[in-house]
Amino acid sequence: MTDAMNTTTAWAEVQAVVLSGITKRFPGVVANDGVNFAAAHGEVHALLGENGAGKSTLSNVLTGLYRPDEGTIDIGRVRHNFGSPRDALDAGVGMVHQHFRLVQTFSVAENVVLGEKGGGVFLSRRIIEQRVRELSERYHLPVDPAAKIWQLSVGEQQRVEILKVLYRQATVLILDEPTAVLTPAESQALFTTMRAIVAEGRTVIFISHKLDEVIDVADRVTVLRGGRSVGTVATSDSTVRSLAELMVGRDIAFTRQRSNDLVFGDSPVVLEMRHLQAHDDRGRMALKNVSLTVRAGEIVGVAGVAGNGQRELAEVITGLRESSGGVTLVGGFGLRGGNPREAIDAGLAHVPEDRLHTGLAPSLSVEDNLVLKSYRKRPIHTVGVLRRSRIRSMATALIERFDVKTPGPQTATRLLSGGNVQKVLLAREFTAKPKVMVAASPTRGLDVGAIETVRKLILQAADDGVGVLLISEDLEEVLALTDRLVVMYEGAIVGEFATSAASIESIGMLMGGASASPDEVAAS
Amino acid sequence: MNHNLFVIIAASAIFYGTPIYFAALGEVLTERSGVLNLGVEGMMLIGAVAGSWTSSHLGGPAWFVVLGAIIVGAFAAALCAALHGLLVITLRANQTVAGLALTIFAGAVGLSSYLANSWHVARAPALRQIRRLNVFGLKDAPVVGPLLFNHNVLTYLSWVLCVVASIYLFRTRMGMHLRAVGESPQTADAMGINVTAYRYGHTIVGGALAGIGGVFFSLAIVPTWVDGMTTGRGWIAIALVIFGFWRPDLTLVGAYLFGAFSSLGLILKARNVDINSSILDSLPFVMTIVVLVVVSTGWARKRLGAPASLGVAYEREER
Amino acid sequence: MSSVRGRVRFEKRLDVAKRMTYLVPLMSVGAALVVGAILLLATGHNPIDTYHKVFSRGFGSRSSLSGTIGLATPILFTGLAAAAAFRMGLFNIGGEGQLIMGAVGASGVAIALSDQAAPVIFIAMVVAGMVCGGLYALVPGFLKARFKTSEIITSLMMNYIAAIVLNYLIFNSTSYWRDPKSKGFPTGKAIGSAAQWNEFTVSDVVVPLGFVVASIAAAVVWGLYKKTRFGFEVNVVGDSPVAARYAGVNTRRKVLTVMGISGALAGLGGASDIGDFRHVLDAKGLSQAGYGYTGIVVAALARLNPLAVIVVAVVMGGLTNAGYALQGPDFPSGLVGTLQGLILFCTVAGEVLTRYRVRINRRTVAPAPSGPAEVSAA
């Protein structure tokens, strides 16, 4: 470790990346407003900020995807004007995106060498696989070069992304929220890799909103708030609390938004799953014998790393996916399954993960989307003819009640901001007076204000007696909102807690599978 | 079945299958880049009329005229493909509608007919036709003669192209880049591959191949001009791409299968077999539907499917 | 930087201006005429002269207007058929074959019921045309709903099969439809005079009954899609099939219903072809008419609005009418189809303008490429 520290100091005299006065405007928004950022050789430099603070925009500017309206980019003292990601890559800037940029049907090695300049007309599988194998061994990124991407776990796919960037000999690596899809143990392994990379004098820019991780792995932190850079500090001088204050501009405490004293023993069971089984799109077992109950007024959380069966669980309950075994009961009545209409009629509301394309018809108007499920019910139509004036007045009332910012009820829904899209969806789901609501990642990608609104609406629904199943990869959210939570791992429920008594550590270990013991995590 | 009859059917399957194969191979390359071009029928007809016109206006030795006709036919159809590219790659128009537009514009009652009547190619048979060769003097050898040594130059070219295209797609860097562009243009773009250039390039080459298929019609199969002379073969070519799982080799097999369906009527009629010709005429079309249904069910759909971004315009996330 | 790209940029429009709904079709026709003029010049024709003739032969007099409305009738039906299906993102391009099947059905009942009263025959023909066209469209519809087979190619293959069936009935067999008395060149049995549909004369312009039926059908389709629960579901499926499934819409059943409606509209066009115009199952005439393709152009130019289809069909009918009247050395066949294709091209390109704002970035020194830059001027 001392060697690495020495290297860091030696390189620190030369800045690897300097961004000055970066401004990027989008119609109606200034995403970056005169942002200054500088990172040295040999350091892990964190870029910290809440959702919507401008982190993604800044990294897209640095990787040539966006062109800044104002400001300059210097990489290793050379001024650059990137016109495309290729320019940035040629200048030594590589990015690992949050949503992987991988060709699913290609092998690991093919993905790594994709787009490589030179190297001959023909392609020898054996040679490229050998090269990738050497690279993966050098950086402790174990992955089979011949495997196809679709066969890999999310963690392995991320390693391929990092290998891609290293293969191009990038001097600056940007990792965009890399730990969001990892278990705590995998995150620790990633941090080891990051240290190995900077030990060679390269720069890692680590984008995150997780304070403890930032303090854990980064040397310095630049904090963005509302599109501006509010300061750069050394992590050795920082605490979780001081970074949090910089990030949100106020003192926040980790808050539980739900009372610990609620008891639901006497409330009726509104949602019950018995031994549910289902396959995923590729025909693999995705749900293994899942049983769970939700009572009226109760909020039950489903925690877990993405891709462990949560999506299939939501789809089976709501009828979007056929189950291969087990039953779902809503309000005591068994569903035949595989039929969304049946689930809706039984009193099940659904806030899907992909709200704009699954939960809403994006090009249809706000008012049409507000009646997307109730159009076939009585007051909306008379003998099959829609009552447009009724729809209009109902929509106007809902827009007002849920404070949806829209030019009017006839505006196409896709033109609204993410938060308002979600409000339209929630407004529709709540007015159906459901018994149960299944909400999947309901706040993902929303800005701070919208997150608060959506959370309040969910809490309000539970107070009104709706049983809520909250499926979220955001552990903080699950801990803040739920009464009870279960952890899913590889399609099975591996643990259940009363939220007030749950510890983040034990949940984290379950999320990573029973194999990760606390000692192992500490050792790496 | 008579042994001789089998050879005749196989040889004419190759003959009638070749133009379909050219068009289908072009569409394989186009679709591998993520562009769906439903204008094949129109491009074939444009190629046919351009080839026909060249053969009756160009002087010189026969091989020179035929070569000129092939080049002009390919070029004319490539221009149509470039137009499609402009609409769907640059302007990001709906690929299905743009392809239909191309077929209507260029097709049986459109530009190909207009040009044929304007240039008077409809009046007389083409002066120079693409003749069958007698390779190594073996055309009369039993069985292998008609199967392998008595085709025209375009059939031999199609065999070469089949091998070249297979190697290109699966063994070269450019081929890998092409497949990446069709599967995930975002990834390809991020890795510095010029998505637009790959899409234009392969759409245009695909059009040129469809044009050569058209020339085969007007200078080898029906050596006079008839409006809409390709009678739906362009559409069958599109279906063949699906049948061949977007692979040059399997597509060749499919093309010969449909060549056999196309020729069966003529052969059986010549042999006085008593089947109503309407049933035989409808065979290629009915079989196309059957084949499409088969490949869209069950196991075939799961892994060997279309390029993941087929038909989707690529738009960089620049807001 | 050598690889600076994106000199011409497309920015997504945040709101679509209402005027675009009629500006885009008008500009498309205008642009198509300009390109067509270049084509005419290049092939040695005078475009102004040609266009003047097209207009006067298509719309210039009452008699030409009568011919135009007659030729607009079948493409009004196929245009409606295309619009009804395309609205749900269902590319039924088998309007041609469905129209042929409608004509087969309608002529069959017209021959069979020749001794009945005219209204009975009329209703029977309408029903038979719709049923035959609808059932024929249900074949690709069923394959789509059951096996997810692309309806584009299957419905198109069905066109060729319909033409072969038609040939079979008249030329290749001694079927019920073939006139046994026809010597030499075989023809179909003519329908009786009671089976012929009425005409109306409005200030010297002849309007066939089929045109009235088609206009009523257009209004019905418009109401169905705009005002009813069914139409709402169709719009949701058309916009996002996933969202439709999420909302509990049975998309398979919707595919079957919409294909059936689409085919029935085209089949009705076949009934009108027999009742209004040819009065006989005319194998050669029907398979050469190209009603199906023209219907797609009509639907696209009308931006899939059933009421606008009426207007556009009349415009296209005028073009076709002029094409027939002028056919000769100065006006080669195929010109009308070429112009229609150009109109469709320009409509497709024009749609882009409703979704994007074209912005030319002038900060770079390199000249803007000429292709895309033209669009901003259009």
- How many angstroms separate the CA of residue C147 from the nearest CA in chain B? 6
Residues 6+ apart with CB under 8 A from B216: B18, B19, B22, B130, B154
Test the B interface: residue of C143, C153, C158, C175 with most B CBs within 10 Å = C153
Nearest to A323 by CA among A313, A310, A331: A313
State the pLDDT confidence band at B130, using cuts at 50, 70 and 90: confident
Region C65-94: mean pLDDT is 95
Name the minimum distance, in Å, from the CA of B40 to any CA of chain C. Answer: 12
* pTM beyond cutoff 0.90: no
C81 or C289: which carries more pLDDT confidence? Answer: C81
Asked if C157 lies within 8 A of B114 by C-beta distance, the reply is no
A227-231, B297-301, C183-187 — which is least confidently predicted?
A: B297-301
Ordered DSSP codes for B28-61: HHHHHTT---TTHHHHHHHHHHHHHHHHHH--S-
Chains that touch B (3 or more CB pairs under 8 A): A, C
Q: What angle do CA A199, A201, A203 make, to 5 degrees?
A: 100
What integer is the mean pLDDT of C7-36? 75
Closest CA to A349 of C248, C312, B2, C111: C248
Higher pLDDT, C9 or C185: C185
Contacts of A68-72 spanning 24+ positions with Cβ under 8 A: A68/A22, A68/A23, A68/A24, A68/A32, A69/A23, A69/A24, A69/A25, A70/A21, A70/A22, A70/A23, A70/A34, A71/A19, A71/A20, A71/A21, A71/A22, A71/A23, A71/A34, A71/A35, A72/A18, A72/A19, A72/A20, A72/A21
**Ranges of H-type helices in A346-499:** 366-370, 388-401, 418-431, 448-463, 475-481
Q: Between chains, do B278 and C349 touch, taking CB under 8 Å as contact?
A: no
Contact A102 B187 (CB under 8 A): yes
CA-CA distance, A483 to A498, in Å (whole number)?
6
For residue C367, pLDDT beyond 50: no
Q: Determine contact, residues A88/A62, Cβ cutoff 8 Å.
A: yes
pLDDT at C376 over 50: no
Residues 165-184 of B with CB under 8 A from A: 171-174, 176-177, 179-180, 183-184
Looking at residue B174, what is its pLDDT? Answer: 94
Residue B32's alpha-carbon distances to A113, B35, B199, B249, C314, in angstroms, are 19, 7, 9, 14, 41
Q: How confident is the model at residue B251 (pLDDT cuts 50, 70, 90)?
A: very high
* Chain B residues with CB-CB distance to C150 below 8 A: 242, 292, 296
Q: Residue A64's closest chain B neighbor by CA?
A: B190
C-alpha radius of gyration, chain A, whole number: 25
What pLDDT is stored for residue B127 in this prediction?
62
Q: What's the whole-number mean pLDDT along residues C319-342? A: 84
Q: Which of B47, B93, B88 is nearest to B216 (CA)?
A: B47
What distance in Å separates the CA atoms of residue A292 and residue A333, rounded to the nearest whole number? 15
Give the pLDDT of residue A523: 36
Query: Which among A82, A342, A386 is the nearest to C227, CB-wise?
Result: A386
Strand order across the A29-40 sheet: A29-40, A15-26, A70-75, A78-80
Strand A269-279 relative to strand A333-334, pairing? unpaired
Q: Which H helix or E strand runs over C262?
A: helix C251-272
Give the DSSP letter of residue C113.
T
Question: For all residues of chain C together, what is the average pLDDT?
Answer: 86
Distance from CA of A90 to the nearest CA of B (A): 9
Per-residue pLDDT at A524: 34
Least confident of B116-125, B129-138, C92-101: B116-125
Distance from CA of C13 to the nearest CA of B (A): 11
What ipTM does this complex have? 0.86
With CA atoms as reference, report the closest residue to A303 among A132, A470, A509, A115.
A470
Higher model confidence: residue A57 or residue C376? A57
**CA-to-CA separations, C343 to A515, C27, C31, in angstroms, rounded:** 66, 10, 8
**What's the pLDDT at C11?**
61
Range B262-280 average pLDDT: 79
Question: How far apart are the C-alpha atoms of B233 and B221, rounded to whole Å?
Answer: 13
Planar angle of CA C183, C189, C191, nearest 5 degrees = 145
- d(Cα A407, Cα A353) in Å, to the nearest integer? 25
- Contact between A350 and C246 using a beta-carbon 8 Å cutoff: yes
Q: Is C348 exposed, middle or buried (0-12, 13-18, 19+ CB in 10 A)?
A: buried
Tokens 């008609």, residue located: B146
Rounded to 5°, the CA angle A191-A194-A200 comes to: 150
The token duo for A83 is 């016109």
Q: Whole-angstrom Cα distance, residue A317 to residue A278? A: 11
Most B CBs within 10 A among C35, C142, C149, hence the mutation to make, goes to C149
Cα→Cα distances A111→A104, A119, A159, A257, C136, Å? 9, 15, 12, 44, 47
User: For an interface test with B, which of A102, A103, A174 has the most B Cβ atoms less than 10 Å from its Cβ?
Assistant: A103
State how far residue B253 is from chain C, nearest Cα, in angstroms.
20
Contacts of A105 in chain B (CB under 8 A): 179, 183, 308
From the number of C-beta atoms within 10 Å of its C-beta (0-12, 13-18, 19+), residue C165 rates as buried
Which chain C positions have a beta carbon within 8 Å of A27's beta carbon? Answer: 11, 14
Cβ distance A31 to A24 under 8 Å? yes
Other C-beta atoms closer than 10 Å to the C-beta of A428 total 24
What is the pLDDT, as a whole number, of residue C14? 55
What is the pLDDT at residue B135?
A: 80
| Interface contact A115-B172, CB threshold 8 A | no
| Residue numbers of chain A with a pLDDT score lower than 50 | 1-12, 251-253, 515-524
pLDDT value for C371: 34
Q: Does position C39 have pLDDT exceeding 90, yes or no?
A: no
Contact residues for A357 (Cβ-Cβ < 8 A; gap 6+) = C240, C242, C243
Q: Beta strands A44-48 and A220-225: pairing type? A: parallel
Q: Cα separation of B283 and B262, whole Å?
A: 8
pLDDT in tens, B161-174: 999 999 999 999 99
What confidence category does residue B304 fall into, taking pLDDT thresholds of 50, 70 and 90? low
Cβ–Cβ of C168/B292 closer than 8 Å? no
Flag whether residue B91 sits within 8 Å of chain A, measured between CB atoms.
no
**pLDDT bucket at C13, cuts 50 / 70 / 90:** low
- Residue C185 tokens read as 């060149």
Mean pLDDT within C175-201: 86
Q: What is the pLDDT of residue B145?
A: 79
Helix (H, G, I), strand (E, B) or coil at C361: coil
pLDDT at res. B296: 79
The proportion of chain C whose per-residue pLDDT surpasses 90, expressed as a percent, equals 53
Angle at C225 between CA C221 and CA C226, to 5 degrees: 115
**pLDDT of amino acid A129:** 93
Q: Residue A222 corresponds to which tokens in the numbers above?
A: 């630049």
Dihedral angle of Cα A387, A388, A391, A395, to the nearest 10 degrees: -170
- Cα distances (Å, whole numbers) of residue A399 to A402, A421, A425, A439, B3: 5, 11, 11, 21, 78
- The model's pLDDT over C151-172, given as tens digits with 9 standing for 90+, comes to 999 999 999 999 999 999 998 8
Predicted pLDDT of residue B229: 87
Tell me the chain B residues in contact with residue C167 when contact means C-beta distances shorter than 8 Å. 278, 281
Angstroms from B132 CA to nearest CA on chain C? 30
B83 band by pLDDT with thresholds 50, 70 and 90 = very high
CA distance C226 to chain B (A): 23
Residues A123, B176: C-beta atoms closer than 8 Å: yes
- Say yes or no for a CB contact (<8 Å) between C1 and A363: no
